[in-house]
């Protein structure tokens, strides 16, 4: 029986593992954190319809029955051995894998790197992930009691040469609009502002989400990027941006500021990949695929495959599609190997 190592137990890893297992392969799933689910496990609800992340994840996990998986496990070393890869985990397990799937996902951009937004410095600045956590647990002292004015800064660490990320992180717009609606549900009296450069509502139902944010929730969209944030004597945040539409500088005092941190390639995953010569692109740090249209699951190394956000920002459905596509690509690869 062929061995396949799947690195990363997020949605892509889970979905690919489940499919590969059904095809009859021996799947070993490696997850570095203590639980499966990746970022999905930390999310509350999903755009555009607000389906609970928990439900989705539970479905996925129930699908991987029979897959061997290791939690709290890191790939200590990986090296090519003929047509196979020798994978040694830090828990002492060694696997000779016929194929390796990187489903290592993304790291959230470290919002503190954008110093001017004051994350970690001002008391009422949080990130999108913090807000999701608050939605789930209602535990975060930074979310002031009954905030009157809330701001969302889009493109934090995305489309930003200075932050080193020129690309768009794709999901933050929809996430911001979703969170803007959700926070209005929590605090119906609050005024909510979204500071954006472009609103990229590309998916099915996303434009409806945008419209309902405007219509149902009265979210105010300001086409202008926040340039700086200050804290006033009442610990409120003084936010400055340009309202590009009127061509004027704008100022607003807020009680809570949510930074929509973007996606970056998972640094731990990149480190592992580096050992077998699979590298991130110079342009954006995400793994380089065999081409950019047709073979998105294939790397330049035979037997090494990708699924999900490790090859660029993706929505959850995108990642799941890729996981299924990756399972099929691996299957075809192994079948062909057998023929030869």
Partner 1 sequence: MGKFGFALSPSSRINLDEVDKVKFAKLVEIEPDVLKCMACGSCTASCTAGKFVKTSMRSAILALQNGKNEDAINFLKGCLLCGKCTMVCPRAINTRHLIISILKVYQ
Partner 2 sequence: MIYQGKQKIWSDYQKEIPDDHYFYVRSCIRQNLFPASEKTFLDITRNKLGKDFFETEHHTTCGGIAYHCDAIPQETSMTIIARQFALMHKYGYENYVCSCITSFGLYTETLETWHEFPELEAKIADNLWKTCKLEFAKPKYLAHASDIIYKFRNLIAAQAKYKLINKKTGQPLKVVEHIGCHYGKMFPSKSVGGAEYPYVLAGMIEAWGGEVIDYPERRHCCGYGFRQYHVRSNRGYSLSNTHKKFESMEPYKPDMIITNCPGCPYFLDRWQYVISELEGKTYGENGHGIPVFTYEEVAGLVMGYNPWDLGLQMHQVGPEPVLDKMGIPYNPEDKYKGPYGKDIGRPELPSCGCL
- Select the span of 63-71, 227-235, 285-293, 308-316 touching partner 2 (CB under 8 A): 227-235
The site partner of 232 among partner 1, partner 2, none (C-beta below 5 to 8 Å per kind) is partner 2
Q: How far is the CB of 110 from partner 2 (least distance, A)?
A: 11
Name which of 121 and 211 has its Cβ closer to partner 2. Answer: 121
Q: How far is the CB of 202 from partner 1 (least distance, A)?
A: 15
3-state secondary structure string across the chain = CCEEEEECCCHHHHHHHHHHHHCCCEEEEECCCCCCCHHHHHCCEECCCCEEHHHHHHHHHHCCCCCEEECCCCEEEEEEECCEEEEEECCCCEEEECEEEECCCEEECCHHHCHHHCECCECCEEEHHHHHHHHHHCCCCCCCCCCCEEEEEEEECCCECCCCECCCCCCHHHHHHHHHHHHHHHCCCCEEEEEECCCCCCCCCHHHHHHHHHHCCCCEEEECCEEEEEECCCCCEEEEEEECCCCEEEEEEECEEEEEECEEECHHHHHHHHCCCCCECCCCCCECCCCCCCCCCECCCCCEEECHHHHCCCCHHHHHHHHHHHHHHHHHHHHHHHHC
**166 is written with which tokens?**
């020129």
Name which of 121 and 245 has its Cβ closer to partner 1. Answer: 245
- Check binding of 334 to partner 1 (CB under 8 A): no
Q: How far is the CB of 197 from partner 2 (least distance, A)?
A: 21
Identified binder of partner 1 from the candidate list 246, 267, 292, 332, rule CB under 8 A: 246
**6 is written with which tokens?**
């799947």
Identified binder of partner 1 from the candidate list 136, 220, 225, 321, rule CB under 8 A: 220
- Check binding of 112 to partner 2 (CB under 8 A): yes
Identified binder of partner 1 from the candidate list 69, 102, 152, 193, rule CB under 8 A: 193
**200 is written with which tokens?**
């990229």
Q: How far is the CB of 221 from partner 1 (least distance, A)?
A: 8
Name which of 83 and 235 has its Cβ closer to partner 2. Answer: 235
- Check binding of 115 to partner 2 (CB under 8 A): yes
Q: How far is the CB of 230 from partner 2 (least distance, A)?
A: 4
Name which of 43 and 195 has its Cβ closer to partner 2. Answer: 195
Q: Say if residues 97 and 302 touch (Cβ distance below 8 Å).
A: no
Q: How far is the CB of 55 from partner 2 (least distance, A)?
A: 36
Q: Say if residues 238 and 231 touch (Cβ distance below 8 Å).
A: yes
- Check binding of 242 to partner 2 (CB under 8 A): no
Identified binder of partner 2 from the candidate list 58, 198, 228, 291, rule CB under 8 A: 228
Name which of 36 and 153 has its Cβ closer to partner 1. Answer: 153
- Check binding of 250 to partner 2 (CB under 8 A): no
- Check binding of 232 to partner 1 (CB under 8 A): no
Contacts with partner 2 by CB under 8 A lie at: 112, 115-116, 118-123, 228, 230-233, 235, 238
């Amino acid at each position: 029986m062929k061995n396949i190592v799947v690195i990363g137990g997020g949605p892509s890893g889970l979905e690919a593992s489940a499919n590969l297992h059904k095809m009859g392969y021996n799947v070993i799933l490696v997850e570095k954190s203590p639980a499966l689910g990746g970022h999905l496990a930390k999310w509350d609800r999903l755009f555009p319809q607000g389906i609970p992340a928990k439900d989705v994840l539970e479905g996925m996990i129930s699908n991987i029955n029979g897959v061997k998986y290791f939690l709290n496990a890191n790939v200590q070393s990986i090296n090519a051995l003929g047509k196979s890869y020798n994978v040694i985990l830090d828990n002492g397990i060694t696997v000779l894998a016929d194929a390796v799937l990187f489903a290592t996902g993304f790291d959230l951009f470290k919002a503190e790197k954008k110093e001017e937004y004051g994350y970690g410095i001002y008391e009422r600045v949080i990130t999108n992930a913090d807000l999701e956590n608050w939605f789930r647990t209602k535990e975060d002292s930074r979310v002031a009691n009954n905030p009157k004015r809330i701001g969302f800064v889009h493109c934090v660490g995305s489309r930003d040469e200075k932050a080193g990320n020129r690309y768009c992180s794709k999901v933050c717009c929809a996430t911001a609009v979703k969170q803007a609606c959700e926070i209005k549900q929590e605090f119906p009296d609050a005024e909510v502002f979204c500071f954006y450069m472009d609103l990229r509502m590309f998916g099915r139902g996303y434009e409806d989400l945008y419209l309902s944010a405007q219509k149902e929730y009265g979210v105010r969209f300001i086409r202008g990027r926040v340039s700086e944030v200050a804290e006033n004597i009442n610990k409120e945040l003084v936010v400055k941006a340009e309202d590009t539409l009127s061509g004027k500088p704008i100022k607003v005092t807020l009680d809570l500021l949510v930074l929509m941190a973007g996606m970056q390639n998972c640094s731990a995953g990149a480190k592992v990949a580096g050992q077998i010569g699979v590298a991130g692109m110079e342009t954006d740090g995400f793994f380089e695929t065999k081409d950019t249209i047709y073979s998105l699951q294939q790397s330049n190394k035979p037997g090494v495959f990708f699924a999900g956000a490790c090859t660029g920002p993706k929505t959850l459905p995108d990642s799941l599609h890729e996981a299924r596509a990756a399972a099929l690509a691996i299957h075809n690869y192994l079948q062909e190997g057998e023929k030869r």
